[in-house]
Structure 1
Amino acid sequence: MAQTILKVQGMTCGHCKASVEGALLELAGVSKAEVNLEEGTVDVSYDETDVSIEAMHEAVEEQGYDIA
């Protein structure tokens, strides 16, 4: 299991948190996605054989947020 922290711009509320976490958790291989709104980060645990960082970036960007 690998872990990364994504820096996400534009998250301001509970809906933002739910959107980003939900999009990441839908990806095969992602086991945990926890948003910290104050820091603008998402702590992600994932299986690197199933999902790439690029796929996570795309999932977040499809929700309307930018990766810093």
Structure 2
Amino acid sequence: MNQLVLSVPAISCGHCVKAIAESVGEVPGVGSVAVDFTAKTVVVTGSADPAAVRAAIAEAGYEAAE
């Protein structure tokens, strides 16, 4: 499985974590999603298209960087 690690500097609360995890979890090919509030990262495993993962994060209202 592939692993994608993205920095999301705007993660600031539990709501952010939940919103991002739910949005990214709906992307086809995502095996698992781990949103780390402290490190401000999103780690996605699976075969999902990285552009689709970034788009899902944007739909949740956040901007992702690598």
Q: Same fold (TM over 0.5)?
A: yes
Number of positions where the alignment pairs a residue of Structure 1 with one of Structure 2:
65
Alignment pair present for 1:57 and 2:44 = no
**Cα RMSD for the two superposed structures:** 0.9
Letter in 1 for 2:16: C
Show structure 1 runs of 5+ residues with no match.
none
TM-score scaled by length of structure 2: 0.90
Identity within the alignment, %: 32
- Runs of 5+ unmatched residues, structure 2: none
Q: Which has the higher strand share?
A: 1
Query: Match of 1:31?
Result: 31
Flag as ranges the 4+ runs of structure 1 deviating above 4 A: none
Question: TM-score, normalised on structure 1?
Answer: 0.88
- Deviations 1:15-37 (CA, angstroms, capped at 9, x unpaired): 10011011111111101000111
